[in-house]
Amino acid sequence: MQHVKFMKNKKLKQKSNKFKIVLIVTTGRTGSDYLNSCLDNVEGLMTFCGKFNYHQYFTNSNHKIDKTLLINRFIKKYHFLFSYNREEDIDTKINVKKFKNKFINLNNKKYE
């Protein structure tokens, strides 16, 4: 897991609100480990290496869920991504409150 830095430069911060959010999903034997290592430590980017099952949060492909509920469930299940890992001496230094707010404010749509 890499350290996620939120932009401090005012001009970059203003432009960052216009950046698109992208999710890259790969399958086995496609070079996904290599891609992950290339993207690791890129400022403003978070990568998850290994299996990540996003289907667990939805009952079907049309299911809508409140973003606050979704991010709270995600952080609860993957709490180790947001805290100090003593075994590997990794501190992601992610401000969980800020992370949640950024996620919730990705768009203006409210899902129920």
- The predicted-structure confidence for 66-107, as pLDDT tens digits, reads as follows 889 999 999 998 888 888 888 878 787 888 998 898 888 876
Q: What single-letter amino acid sits at 64?
A: K
Q: How confident is the model at residue 11 (pLDDT cuts 50, 70, 90)?
A: low
Q: How confident is the model at residue 10 (pLDDT cuts 50, 70, 90)?
A: low
CA-based angle 104:92:111, to the nearest 5?
A: 15
DSSP letters for 33-88: HHHHHHHTT-TT-----S---GGGG-SSTT----HHHHHHHHHHHTGGGGS-BTTT
CA-based angle 46:52:56, to the nearest 5?
A: 120
What average pLDDT does this structure show over 13-39? 76
